[in-house]
Structure 1
Amino acid sequence: MNDMPRPEYPRPNLVREHWVNLNGVWEFSFDAPVFDQKILVPFCYQSQKSGIGDETEHGTVWYRRPLSLKETDFAGKRVLLHFGAVDYECRIYLNQQLAGTHQGGNNAFTVDITKWVQDGENELTVEVNDSYRQSQPRGKQRWKDHSFGCWYTPVTGIWKTVWLEYVGETYIEKVHFTPDIDKNQAVAELFLNGTESAEVTVQAYLSTDGEKKLSAECTAFCRCGYGKAVLDFPDLDVRTGEELLWSPEHPNLIDVDVTVRRDNTVVDQVSTYFGMRKIQVMDGQVYLNNMPLFQRLILDQGYWKESLLTPPSDEAIRQDIELTLKMGFNGARKHQKIEDARYYYWADRMGLLLWAELPSCYEFNTEAIGRSMQEMKEAVDSHYNNPSIIFWTPLNESWGINKVLCDPQQQDYVRAMYYYLKSLDPTRLVSSNDGWEQVCENDICAIHDYHLFPSNVDKYADMGKILDTVAQVRKLYAEGNAYQGEPILLTEYGGIAFEDQCEGENWGYFGAVRSEEEFFDRLAPVTRYLFDSGNFQGFCYTQLTDVQQEINGLLTEDRKPKVSIEWLRQVFGGNL
């Protein structure tokens, strides 16, 4: 086993200089804390990368590792233990004392273990409970003993990086930047731990011709743990966007240093960043930075053959983004997954537009509602500053709300999710139930249609008829709701498989092709129509890679292209 997988700093949007990576070999056991196995963290036990590779369901798993800590390092400081994600419910013990708990399998959380830390050797134990329960947000993780349809091997336990930090008694918990490109400003909101008051200085830097220059500065007086101030960029011309604005063509990022002082003494320092960009809907179009935006998206489920939902390396994350861009896409719909924080970081750096999507529950009750809304809030909190994310998608294809077509309660839940997201985050758009059976509370009209071929693409010539009825097999709008002039995007189509892969449970959508030529004969005219018809403001092709039995990717699970990347670039880039 590799002693230190994923060694890079795991949270690029809130960086401290001193930290300790806790990935590596931990003691592990199923069901009871007997610790008779070893596991490679942060890979789940179901994955081959973990060193275990057991797909059997276990309701409880246990982790243990030693922590060697020096009092000279933590004296007078808080000791914070961070988890990138643990699926699903966990209890964290330090030296046999319960230090914290968390529920939710997709987002980062922090446990303050200061009270239980001792000089020298410490024992960290994590108990995790997971199940096939359909009222927890599980996304593409199956809830049966075998994979089926488009649901795959589940993930239990720690599946993102674990790390440790020493901080002062008063420290930054999060920083949110809300840009206003029309005023050349960004509002900085500062959130401190507890209720202490402090002075916080925010310094923003832009890189021009490779040189980093201080471009804006503000000071917030945080009272009871919260403060707000404004960064002004008066000397920059936003009309060109070449220096200030973030876009796929110019992925400019503003680096920020945040310093916390109490009684004129520095008690915390973090580095972060954000992007100046604006996304809005106007006159039936999506606009980025006040310019029309045609979205060319790929659906990306973020699974790897040997490591499942956990990216095997930082290089693997970059490779997926590089391949996405090379194939002519300007964005990705991260489907049913809250990604590794470093995926969003590289998308920010490399200029890839993103839709971020909440993993679905598969039944409707108050438990599912509460858990979904909590995980949605945690995702917004963690990724508020990532400029690459331009959409939130809380629900997909009526999963978990299968009566939404005619059930007022389920329709109200979709509306609640829409307004909840709008209240949490005014900087992004929302596709509230992507695909069909939508409600009026939506920023776009999102259509899924895999039964789309060169021979029948003209059905979209009469868009009014489609909007009033069905696209593939489901009505586009729930009863009592109707199209209100929103931008129309085909947010799932394609899914073309090759015949020689379609064995056993392997599948693609609506038949398979036998050759590269047949593949492009089916794909190119449909995609050309989406560009030329004037009825669509973008599309999302399914999908980037094969995922287990779903073999309709442009790439294999090992990220090998099935067809010419240059031809794909011409098709999806609109050059055919």
Structure 2
Amino acid sequence: MIKENVPRPDFRRDEWVSLNGEWDFSFDEPLFDKKIKVPFCYQSEMSGIGTAEVHHIVWYLKEFVVEKDRLSGKSLLLKFGAVDYEAEVYVNQTYAAGHRGGHTPFEADITGLVTEGKNIVTVKVMDYSDADKPRGKQTWTGENFACWYTPTTGIWQSVWLEYAGKSYIKRIKATPDLDRNEVLCEVFVSSMKALKTEISFRSIPAGGDMQKDLGSINIICENGYGKGILALPDLDVRREELIWTLAKPNLIEMQALLLNDQVYSYFGLRSVSVSNGRILLNGEVLYQRLILDQGYWKESLLTPPDEEAIKEDIILAKKMGFNGARKHQKVEDPRYYYWADRLGFLVWGEMPSCFQYTDNTLERTSGELTEFIQRDYNHPSIITWVTANESWGMRNIRTDKSQQNFSNMLYYQAKALDKTRLVSGNDGWEQTEHTDILALHDYELMPENTGKYDCMEEIIYGLAERRMVLAEGQKYGGQPVLMTEYGGIAFSSDETGWGYYNKAGSLEEFMNRLEPVTDSLIKSRKFSGFCYTQLTDVMQETNGLLKEDRTPKVPLELLERIFGKKYYE
């Protein structure tokens, strides 16, 4: 049964132990003279430290207990949700694992490193200010500026132990085919021997209706891999009982058994496609009403303060008329995607950018992009991958063929890993023709100039705001057009904060600027959707619809009237 309040609701075992909480901690050297609350980074208030001092090396130490009976015939896995940026993990002073990449998970099989009773895990983390690694919105200059904020150093997602089988399941990849009414399951396991994995399927209806068994398949895994196909029941006109939609986000649970290892996962039966320049969800035209969400909290920075905070952000966005979010420059906590799956909320998963172009940029971005897509592949709420944003980390892409090829490489890498979703190659401007979406950013879009989009061809082969929409030598291939950033109107009493162009001095001024522009995007029928900047204020950037503490600046019903408006209204 799908459960809440677990680190990975989309891939879990019954036997697990949280290592979140108080750890010994120190800066620079392994002195362990401080305490820190994991999984909050030391820069955040909730860590118990809360300093903006720059330290490129930090150390963690935690004691944990292993019970002999629980380990009998089992493997013990030590799992990290995300550690920024490069981690070395030692168990009882023996090297256990290493990982490079600040936004994606890793694990270590520590069965042979632990003893009955007390054990110690030590983590060394290195997080330098190099700009040719994926940083997202973390400043690299030593201070906050423009739309770059306090860095996140060290452990910032959950740490836990899992008791798995001696041979165990490492990953389940479920690829639904709505047209054929079936699902392809690929299973990755730890053993190279030929072993049978049995997967049983059960429907989890959105409305809490009775769950139904959907069948099972046996998969022979050899050399660490196996695959099989399940034909789902043909419900014909009652397909809404099984399909994942925004109105009825039904899920299908998978229970996988390999010898004495049991894992629970899930997926959603749905399709994402493009036809005649329109995006389709389950074969029906989808108009996306997205909110740009950077996933910051004042007291905890990139780490959600708790699971309720994650759920609250989605519920507030839905109340404002949005049907999805572009998770901007952040690989979000897995629990966010879980709640988006459960609540029927679309998500664009976006790769954090680098800010300097070197060979390291290619290697590091490619590695984390792979791990990002692999971790979150099964979430039905995710319908688009954004591989780059506004030419960040590829500043000369307009004319530089090598940087154009870098953008193309990331696009095709994402498509190779995932054929079921759309990819926005360089969201905003200077795009190559290798993209599934033509994404425009235009903060200059005002009530008095909405007519600029009457001739879309002039925009596409020119500029939307101040940068060319297409890179040099590129052609438009009829992709759906979305306004993926606009607005950004600062509406705050904070004199030091900023937004795009002039601040709104009153609610009336804010509404008079917002409503005509959003109306023009909805009613023009030239756009397949929009993404408004942004959900919340973030530090010095005060252009959120909500304050940092999630207090609405504008009555939610007024925003729902604007963002949720239909074509015919």
TM-score class, shorter-chain normalisation, is: over 0.9
What residue number does 1:427 align with? 420
C-alpha change, 1:8 and 1:499, in structure 2 (3 Å) is closer
Deviation digits for residues 460-484 of structure 1, max 9, x if unmatched? 0111111111110000000010211
Residue type at the aligned position of 1:569: E
Equivalences for residues 38-57 of structure 1 within 5 A: 38-57=35-54
Amino acid at match of 2:447: P
Q: Say if 2:87 is the partner of 1:90.
A: yes
Structure 1 residues 94-143: Cα deviation after superposition (integer angstroms, max 9, x where no partner):
11111111100001111111121011111111000001110111100000
Cα separation, 1, equivalents of 2:103 and 2:219 = 32
Are positions 1:255 and 2:253 aligned together? Answer: yes
- Residue 442 of structure 1 pairs with residue 446 of structure 2: no
Cα distance in structure 2, aligned partners of 1:200 and 1:402: 47
Q: Any idea what the Cα deviations from partners look like across 1:54-74, whole Å, max 9, x if unmatched?
A: 111111100001111122221
Counterpart of 2:440, as a letter, is I
Deviation at 1:170, TM superposition (A): 0.8
- From 353, 357, 367, give the equivalent of 1:364: 357
The answer as to whether partners of 2:184 and 2:230 remain within 8 angstroms in 1 is: yes
Deviation at 1:8, TM superposition (A): 2.3
- Cα distance in 2 for partners of 1:322, 1:545 equals 14
- Go from structure 1 to structure 2 and tell me whether the alpha carbon gap of 1:563 and 1:434 turns closer, same or farther (over 3 Å shift): same
Paired residue type of 2:547: T
Determine if contact 1:545/1:552 at 8 Å carries over to the other structure: yes
Alpha-carbon shift at residue 76 of structure 1 (Å): 2.8
Alignment-derived partner of residue 29 in structure 2: 32
**Are residue 520 (structure 1) and residue 517 (structure 2) matched?**
no
TM-score (norm: length of structure 2): 0.97
Aligned to 1:394: 387
1:567 alignment counterpart: 558
State the identity as a percent: 51
Q: Is the 8 A contact 2:194 2:223 kept in 1?
A: yes
Partner of 1:186: 183
Give 1:279 deviation, angstroms: 0.4
Q: How far apart, CA to CA, are the structure 2 residues paired with 1:58 and 1:212?
A: 51
Aligned counterparts of 2:46 and 2:128: Cα–Cα separation in 1: 21
CA distance in 1, matches of 2:233, 2:493: 60
Q: State yes or no: 1:144 paired with 2:135.
A: no
The offset of 1:366, in angstroms, is 1.1
Is the contact made by 1:279 and 1:390 (CA closer than 8 Å) also made in structure 2? yes
**Paired residue type of 1:107:** T
Query: Aligned equivalents of 1:562 and 1:419: distance in 2?
Result: 41
Quote the residue 1:545 is aligned against: 536
How does 1:374-413 map onto structure 2 within 5 Å? Answer: 374-413=367-406
Using the alignment, how far apart are the partners of 2:5 and 2:38 within structure 1? 14
Partner residue, 2:214 = 215
Specify which of 500, 524, 527 is matched with residue 536 of structure 1. 527
The whole-number CA distance in structure 2 between the counterparts of 1:271 and 1:431 is 31
What are the ranges of 5 or more consecutive residues in structure 1 without an aligned counterpart?
1-6, 261-265
User: Residues of 2 paired with 1:345 and 1:494: CA distance?
Assistant: 28
Equivalent pair of 1:95/1:116 in contact (CA under 8 Å): yes
How do 1:334-349 residues align onto structure 2 when only pairs under 5 Å count?
334-349=327-342
SS at match of 2:314: helix
Tell me by how many angstroms 1:195 deviates: 1.1
**Which deviations, in whole Å up to 9, do the C-alpha atoms of 1:373-394 show, x marking residues without a partner?**
0000001110010000000001
Once the two structures are superposed, residues 526-557 of structure 1 have per-residue CA deviations (whole angstroms, 9 ceiling, x without a partner) of 11111111111100000000000000000000
Aligned twin of 2:161:
164
- Answer yes or no: is the 8 Å Cα contact 1:241–1:250 preserved in 2: no
In structure 2, distance between residues paired with 1:430 and 1:301? 19
Of 462, 465, 470 in structure 2, the residue corresponding to residue 472 of structure 1 is 465
CA shift, 1:499, in A, is 5.5
AA matched with 2:514: L
TM-aligned CA deviation for residue 447 of structure 1: 0.1
The separation in 2 between residues aligned to 1:170 and 1:205, in whole angstroms, is 25
How many residues matched?
Answer: 562
- The one-letter code of the counterpart of 1:138 is R
Three-state SS of the structure 2 residue aligned to 1:67 is strand
1:212 is paired with a residue whose SS is coil
Post-superposition shift, 1:245? 1.1
AA matched with 1:222? C
Decide which moves more: 210-219 or 474-483.
210-219
8 A Cα contact 1:57 1:131, kept in partner: no
Looking at structure 1, the residues matched to 419 and 67 of structure 2 have their Cα atoms a distance apart, in angstroms, of 44
What letter matches 2:540 in structure 1? Q
Secondary structure of 2:253 counterpart = strand
CA distance in 2, matches of 1:218, 1:96: 43
The one-letter amino acid paired with 2:369 is M
Q: State the Cα distance separating 1:218 from its structure 2 match.
A: 1.2
Alpha carbons 1:170, 1:196 under 8 Å: kept: no
| TM alignment of 1:437-516, pairs within 5 A | 437-498=430-491, 500-501=493-494, 503-504=495-496, 506-516=497-507
Letter in 2 for 1:225: G
C-alpha distance after superposition, 1:479-520 (max 9, x if no partner): 01021111100000000012532x23x100011111111111
CA deviations 1:140-181 (Å, max 9, x no partner) are: 000011100000000000000000011112111000110110
CA distance in 2, matches of 1:234, 1:111: 39
Distance 1:268 1:76 in 2: 10
- Aligned in 2, Cα 1:241/1:514: closer, same or farther, shift over 3 Å? farther
Asked whether the 8 Å contact 1:302–1:309 carries over to 2, the reply is yes
Give the Å deviation of 1:566.
0.1
- Gap runs ≥5 in structure 2: none
CA contact (8 A) 2:164 2:262 kept: no
Secondary structure, counterpart of 1:234 in structure 2: coil
Counterpart secondary structure, 2:42: coil
Distance 1:333 1:207 in 2: 26
Is the Cα contact below 8 Å between 2:398 and 2:472 reproduced in 1? Answer: yes
Is 1:206–1:254's contact at 8 Å kept on the other side of the alignment? yes
What is the TM-score normalised by the length of structure 1?
A: 0.96
Tell whether the 8 Å contact from 2:214 to 2:233 is kept in structure 1 after alignment. no
> Which residue is 2:300 aligned to?
307
| Equivalent AA in structure 1 for residue 200 of structure 2 | Q
1:544 aligned counterpart, secondary structure: coil
CA distance in structure 1 between the partners assigned to 2:44 and 2:380 by the alignment: 32
Q: Which residue of 1 aligns with 2:67?
A: 70
Alpha-carbon offset, residue 75 of structure 1: 2.8
Larger mean Cα displacement after TM superposition, 80-89 or 201-210: 201-210
AA paired with 1:350?
L
Partner of 1:166, secondary structure, is strand
Partners of 2:492 and 2:503 in 1: CA distance? 5
Q: Distance in 2 between matches of 1:258 and 1:79?
A: 18
Give the Å deviation of 1:240.
5.2
Structure 1 range deviating more: 114-123 or 309-318: 114-123
1:298 pairs with 2:252: no
The answer for the alignment partner of 2:229 in structure 1 is 230
RMSD: 1.1
Residues 390-412 of structure 1 show CA distances to partners (whole Å, capped at 9, x for unaligned) of: 00001000000000000000000
Residue identity matched to 2:480: P
